Each structure stands twice: as C-alpha cells, then as structure tokens.
Homo-oligomer: A and B are copies of this chain.
Amino acid sequence: MLRYQTAGESHGPQLTAIVSGFPAGVPVAPEDINRDLARRQKGYGRGGRMNIEKDRVQFLSGIRFGLSIGSPITLVIPNLDFQNWQDVMSPLPASEDISRRVTRPRPGHADLPGALKYGHKDARNILERSSARETAARVAVGALCKTLLKQFNIDVFSHVIRIADVQAKPDSLSFDEIKQAASVSDLSCADVNASQRMKKKIDEAKAKGDTVGGVAEIIAMGVPVGLGGVMNWEERLDGILAGAIMSIPSVKGVEIGIGFTAAGIFGSLVHDEIFYAPTKPKALNGHGPSGGFYRKTNNAGGIEGGISNGEPVVIHAAFKPIPTMMTPKRSVDLVTKEPFDASKERSDVCAVPAAAVVAEAMTAFILAQAFIAKFGGDSMGEMKKNYDSYIQYLKRY
C-alpha cells in the first residue's frame, strides 16, 4: 500500500518525508518536486519568511538514475533558517533556558490543546510541529505522486475560487483553461476580475491587521472509473479524500462536487444522467476512462457511491483565515494563568493559494494510493499492463 510518513520541526534542521509502496520504474526528477514546493511558497498576501525558505528537495533513497526503484523514497527539505535556531532546537540534553519558553498559546492554533494533551509547559514543543511548515513535506509527497499519476494521464491541479467574500466565477472556462489561467495568477485564480477584488480584500485586511481565508477547488482529470469502493465504509473514495483534505491545517470544510449546494435543491437537479457513446464526444472536459459511458453534468464531482465514475474528481476546501494576526485576541498564559493579548506582528495576511497546493498534494496522494490498490503491480511495466487491460475491458464491457 502506498503510504507516507513525515517528520520535522518548523525550525529544526529539515523536513523529512518517507514514501513507501511507490512502484519501481517511475521517472522522477528533482524539478518535479521543486516546482510544487515553489508554488507553495508564493501567493499574493504572503510575508517575510517565505523569502527565506527557498525550498529544494533532496532525494536520499529510493530513486536511482532518475527512476524509482521500489524501495522507500526519502525526500528531505532543509530548513535554511535553522542556523539561527540551533540553540533553541537542540536535541541534546541541556539546561533549557526557561525564560525562552513559549507559554502564551494563540487562539486558533494547536498551542493550548496540544500543550494540555502532551503535557508541555513550553508551547514551542507543539507549535514547531503544528506549524504549516509541515505542509511543505506533504507537497513534496504529492508532487512525487503526481509523477506516477502522470504516467496514466491523470492530472491534479487547483485554483482559488474564493477569498473572504469575493467569489470567482470561472464557469465559462474549460478545466484546461482554468488550469492555464490559474497558473499565471499570483492568487491561483482563473477569474481575472475576481482576482482584482480579492487583492483589494487582502490589502484591506492587511491595513486592518487582520487576515482572510478562502476556498480552493481541486480537480483531478483523467481518473478512471473504479477507484475507491462501496463495499466497506473505509474504502469510499469520497470519505478518504475528505479526511485527507480536512487534515490540512486551517481547513474547516470540504465538499465533493456541488457539496452543500446539493442539499439545497431538488433531486431532479442534482443527479448526473448517464449517456453512452462507443467513442465519447470530444468536448468532454477531463473525463477519465469509463468505457463508453459518460455524463453531461458533474454535480457528483466524479464520485458516486464512493467510487470514481470517470468524470473529473472535483473537491472544494474551505480554509479559515490565518490565526496569527495583529488584531487583539485574548488568551491566557500556560504558567501564570494571567490573561494577555495574543496579537502579533505578522506579515502574512492570506495563505489560500499556498494551501490550495497542499490540498492538491493530498488529493494526488490519495488518488495514487487508490490507483495502486486497484491496479496492483510492483513496477510501472506491470501497472501499465494491468491498467491497459482494464481499459480494454471497459471498452468491451
């Protein structure tokens, strides 16, 4: 089974990810990973640290001469800022300088529940790991998974569809056009007009010392019918994807397809009718193999009954605003139990474009996992034969 494990503190020497269960023979180059790492560091509304960390991956196992070899793959992302933190983050038994403890938990972070759960009085022991820095490792893992999916013409991308109350309306664009438009937007937004208003909203928040969140849409094109499963609850692709997306720091809502909208309209407007053409119409936007069956709508977001149905998988993730802000927020010291004002100087106002890249990564990981579960195979050669044989079966079904 494809799985991954990450480790690393925000100000420690590095982030480490180990991916295991990745088949042998997949072409993988550092640029494949670095591209997404760079995307995670960009976006209108980001502040200072993003300029310090220029994330670059190192392959320390599992890849040889540009191909995965079947063994666990170690991805390392050094924390370039570590040199300034060696004392504070030392692993060695040492007399800790208690005056440097972080005893002031920030609302909206893991600081307080984490300190209580793990028995710490220094919240740094929590925040170093709960920091969004950890998502850089997930992005590296997701980018690796994309190299596998690409071999089967599955393309996972994302775009921002809302910042605060500004909604993008890229409805007239095809998924290919959306992808293209988002790739050249510093908000990952395919609607140029909305983009301008989003930036104003971000500027407004910045001026107030406040922060904003938003919504991203993640799209996977080319997903074949049959990933996931309906026979056991833990196998349902929608559940697995939702769990993975909600596990991203700051995500508070997930939708598959039209999501909450489906709860508000009549059934006759929701369910996607089924059509058939031995050769499907060309205009179909990002569909994956499903024999000659296809849909003209995709309200289901590509998943019915927990199984991919051959239409693009479409997910929405709602991100709350960044909790660290200059606006006064009351909190209580862990040690003294005295109240204090938790406001902080901080230059980040909006992290939605970056968070969208993380959501992409989790989607790519889950789809790669489901893909490997369905097609088995320890090598690209074997997987391709199994996949091709399934595609033939679908055509003749």
Q: Is the CB of A96 within 8 A of B65?
A: yes
Mark the stretch among A149-157, A177-185, A190-198, A325-333 that contacts chain B: A325-333
Q: Is the CB of A27 within 8 A of B386?
A: no
Mark the stretch among A34-42, A47-55, A119-127, A279-287 that contacts chain B: A119-127
A389 in contact with B385 given A18-B16, A265-B164, A270-B320 (CB within 8 Å)? yes
Q: Is the CB of A20 within 8 A of B226?
A: no
Q: Is the CB of B112 within 8 A of A60?
A: no
A300 near B: Cβ within 8 Å? yes
Per-residue interface assignment for chain A, residues 297 to 340, with 1 indicating a CB less than 8 Å from any chain B CB and 0 otherwise = 00011001111111000000011111101010111101001010
Per-residue interface assignment for chain A, residues 74 to 112, with 1 indicating a CB less than 8 Å from any chain B CB and 0 otherwise = 100000000000000111111010000000010111111
Q: Is the CB of B339 within 8 A of A61?
A: no
A347 near B: Cβ within 8 Å? no
Q: Once bound together, how far apart are the Cα atoms of A65 and B92, in whole Å? A: 5
Name the residue of chain B whose CB is nearest to the CB of A330: B273
Q: Once bound together, how far apart are the Cα atoms of A318 and B322, in whole Å? A: 26
Per-residue interface assignment for chain A, residues 221 to 246, with 1 indicating a CB less than 8 Å from any chain B CB and 0 otherwise = 00001100111111010111111111
Q: Is the CB of B290 within 8 A of A378?
A: no
Contact pick for A259, options B27, B231, B244, B253, CB 8 Å: B253
A373 near B: Cβ within 8 Å? yes
Which B residues are in CB contact (< 8 Å) with A8?
A: 60-61, 72, 74
Contact pick for A271, options B107, B117, B291, B301, CB 8 Å: B107
Q: Once bound together, how far apart are the Cα atoms of A111 and B305, in whole Å? A: 8
A266 in contact with B205 given A242-B254, A247-B306 (CB within 8 Å)? yes
A43 near B: Cβ within 8 Å? no
Q: Once bound together, how far apart are the Cα atoms of A247 and B342, in whole Å? A: 38
A233 in contact with B138 given A65-B96, A273-B331 (CB within 8 Å)? yes
Q: Is the CB of A60 within 8 A of B14?
A: yes
Q: Is the CB of B165 within 8 A of A264?
A: yes
A170 near B: Cβ within 8 Å? no
A353 near B: Cβ within 8 Å? no
Which B residues are in CB contact (< 8 Å) with A374?
A: 376-378
Which B residues are in CB contact (< 8 Å) with A292?
A: 337
A1 near B: Cβ within 8 Å? yes
Q: Once bound together, how far apart are the Cα atoms of A229 and B60, in whole Å? A: 21
Q: Is the CB of B378 within 8 A of A376?
A: no
CB within 8 Å of B: which A366-382 residues:
372-382
A118 in contact with B394 given A65-B92, A72-B7, A385-B389 (CB within 8 Å)? no
Q: Is the CB of B5 within 8 A of A72?
A: yes
Which B residues are in CB contact (< 8 Å) with A90?
A: 64-65
Q: Once bound together, how far apart are the Cα atoms of A330 and B271, in whole Å? A: 10
Nearest Cβ in chain B — how far from A147, in angstroms? 12
Q: Is the CB of B276 within 8 A of A117?
A: no
Which B residues are in CB contact (< 8 Å) with A226?
A: 113, 116-117, 378
A363 near B: Cβ within 8 Å? no
Beyond contacts A126-B305, A292-B337: 9 other A-B pairs, Cβ-Cβ < 8 A, are A71-B125, A71-B128, A110-B306, A113-B307, A210-B266, A253-B262, A268-B327, A373-B376, A377-B386
Q: List 14 A-B contacts (CB under 8 A).
A: A6-B233, A9-B64, A21-B232, A108-B271, A208-B266, A210-B267, A236-B246, A253-B254, A253-B259, A263-B320, A268-B325, A271-B320, A375-B376, A376-B377
In the A-B complex, the 7 residue pairs with the closest CB atoms:
A110-B305, A243-B243, A376-B376, A66-B93, A239-B247, A267-B321, A108-B271
